A and B are shown apart, each in its own frame.
Chain A
Amino acid sequence: MSILSVSDISKSYDKKKLAVENLSFELNEGDFFGFLGPNGAGKSTTISLLSSLITPDKGKIYFQGENIINIRKKYLSDVGFIFQDPPLDRNATVKSNLIFAGTLYNLNKTQIENNYLRLLKKFELLHLLEKKVLKLSGGEKRIIDICRALIHQPKILFMDEPTTGLDPVNRARIWDFINNLRNKSKVTIFLTTHYMDEASKCSKICFIKNGNIIKVDSPNKFLKDSFELVIEFSELDDKLYNQIKKLLNNGLKVGNNSIFGLNDESLLSQIRKISSEYAVRKTNLNDVFLWLTNN
């Protein structure tokens, strides 16, 4: 049985436009679900719906087979949320923040202490316990926020762009922890991110655009179903772009760059006659994202 099942939900904030429309997907226990889409696609609305903070106009969300509206208290006790901006009290110490978070979930003092010590040990951040949050670096704050979200040992962890704005070292640290968490527990993770290298680690990804799901599949399946190669041109004029587009039957302008998908390498010789200033590489998830959200 799925741990979370989203069944045909729609939500509009005004009558003119639906923020999300007929979304349906399922998360099984232990899934690592990536929810991807451009800005304004409906990701935040979906997270607000999944958190039960707002109710769908249509459709239902089930947690372990029960409508989350009917079991809101139990549901919120079993899920954790990580946001782009850590909701920590900046003037309080790390310890106070973690104790406060644990109290909100009705944990007793010993449970809270055991949990935060275990989490901080994992990140090797025990020395930060008495430090005020405002004195922490961006990466440290983010890690403390992950500990905050995990203090009550949730079954599902919603992560809304958890590494946005972090340097590569801290991103790597957070991903080490997430991988470790996945290996050692059965926690289900729902991730929204703009980094496709992060999305490639998901077991399932869902692309959303204008409030509609484009496709849900595994990263490998997305790559398999896409073009094998990508040809990338920088500053290709419109005339040449249209020529290549006609030849390959696809094309996309991304800023100053033009990208084309290619399955048949024999066409490269014909492209070379139009313009030789290109790079050929294997298709990655970033390309898939661009194809799906721009076409």
Chain B
Amino acid sequence: MRIALSIILRDLKKNLSQKARLVASMIRPLLWLFIIGSGFNQIVDIQNSGNYFSFLIPGLICMTALFTGVVSSMSIVYDKEFGFIRLLYLSPSPFIIIIIAKMVSAAMIAIIHMLIFSIIAILFGFLDIATLHNPLFLISIMIVGLLSSIIGLIISAFSGTVENFATTMNFIIFPLFFLSESLYPSDGLHVIFKSFIDINPFSHAVIIMRESLNNQFDFSSFLYISFCIVLGLIISFYAHSRESNIINKISK
């Protein structure tokens, strides 16, 4: 437990001390909110969602988590580049504890970023202040944080260097974001797109978030995301423990 805690504290300290990163991670959703949101609000009418901003906000909260969680989990690749990962691999602690600690720390960072974005949204009047003490919302950000961090952990297991990060963004993160219900509802879409959206766990994260802001809870999405988190944890554990992965990390 102490080992997990010290890994979490180290990652939190390291990430939260990077103020520029925190600001940068807010810029992306704010640009979407103010530029895309304002533009689309003029032309889009989404049933049962008030205006487009109300529809967009849950997606943007999840977007903050997705990008932050993935980047934080990718810190394992930085740790590998600088040899730090060897300390973890060569410690007597069970490797699963290390993976869980990495997942929790990335999730916590994602949660902090989601809360900051939500506060900004409250300040601009897009969200009600009561949101911050809505237990459904708090459960949702925890689930979304964990999901984002696990996505990052899986990616980092197959990502050799930090240079692969742009590829990761283009081929994994953006498709996950765009093929979800973040920006538009999936009703009426072509069956192929709709199928992708239906199996995309990030899409379910957005659904959970949107429902929580309406004081509702989508239990089926919750179950699906929970299943994906557990499956992702198992995949991450095995992928990070692969011999080829270890050799690659050790010989760095």
> A-side interface residues toward B, CB under 8 Å?
13, 44, 48, 51, 53-55, 72-77, 81, 83, 85-92, 96, 99-101, 103-106, 148
Contact code string B1-18 (vs A, CB < 8 Å = 1, else 0): 011001000100110010
B88 with A53: CB separation less than 8 A: no
Please indicate the chain B residues that have their CB under 8 angstroms from the CB of A74 in the complex. Answer: 92
Query: Beyond A73-B92, A74-B92, A105-B92, is A100–B247 a contact (Cβ under 8 Å)?
Result: no
List which B205-252 residues lie within 8 A (CB) of chain A: 243-244, 246-247, 250-252
A104 and B84 in contact, given A53-B246, A91-B14 (Cβ under 8 angstroms):
no
User: Which residue of the partner chain B has the closest CB to A96?
Assistant: B10
B167 within 8 A of A: no
Docked CA distance A286–B65 (Å): 57
Q: Which residues of B contact A92 (CB under 8 A)?
A: 10, 13-14
Across the interface, which residues of A come within 8 angstroms of B82, CB to CB?
85, 87, 89-90
Selected A-B contacts with CB under 8 Å, 20 pairs: A44-B250, A44-B251, A51-B90, A51-B250, A53-B247, A76-B92, A83-B86, A85-B252, A87-B82, A87-B83, A87-B84, A87-B86, A89-B82, A91-B17, A100-B10, A100-B87, A101-B87, A103-B2, A104-B87, A105-B92
B247, A54: Cβ atoms closer than 8 Å: yes
Nearest CB on B from A45, distance (A): 8
Question: Using Cβ atoms and an 8 Å threshold, which residues of chain B touch A85?
Answer: 82-83, 252
Q: How far is the CA of A92 from the CA of B14 in the complex (A)?
A: 8
Closest 10 CB pairs of A and B: A104-B91, A87-B83, A76-B92, A103-B6, A77-B92, A73-B92, A87-B86, A85-B83, A87-B84, A53-B246
Which residues of chain B are within 8 angstroms of A96 by Cβ–Cβ distance?
10
- Asked whether any CB of chain A lies closer than 8 Å to the CB of B89, the reply is yes
**Docked pose: A85 CA to B252 CA in angstroms:** 9
The reply to whether the CB of B93 lies closer than 8 angstroms to some CB of chain A is: yes
Chain A residues lying within 8 Å of B87, measured Cβ to Cβ, are 87, 100-101, 104, 148
Residues of B within 8 A of A89 (CB): 10, 14, 82, 84
CA A13 to CA B247, docked complex, whole Å: 10
Q: Is the CB of B83 within 8 A of A83?
A: yes
Interface pair B6/A53, CB less than 8 Å apart: no
Q: From A158, which residue of chain B is reached at the shortest CB distance?
A: B90
Give A283 Cβ to nearest chain B Cβ, in Å.
33
Judge whether A104 and B10 touch: CB under 8 Å. no
Q: Which residues of B contact A73 (CB under 8 A)?
A: 92, 94
How many angstroms from the CA of A107 to the CA of B92 in the assembled complex? 12
Q: How far is the CB of B51 from chain A (nearest CB, A)?
A: 44
B251 and A106 contact, CB distance less than 8 A: no
Known: A53-B250, A54-B243. A106 touches B2 (CB 8 A): yes
CA distance A124 to B191 in the complex (A): 70
* B98 nearest CB neighbor, chain A only: A104
Are B92 and A53 in contact, with the CB atoms below 8 A?
A: no
CA separation between A119 and B181, bound complex, in Å? 57
Contacting A at CB under 8 A, from B80-131, are 82-94
Which B residue sits closest to A44, measured CB to CB?
A: B251
Residues from chain B with Cβ under 8 Å of A90 in the complex: 82
**Would A53 and B90 be within 8 Å (CB), given that A48-B250, A103-B6, A104-B6 are in contact?**
yes
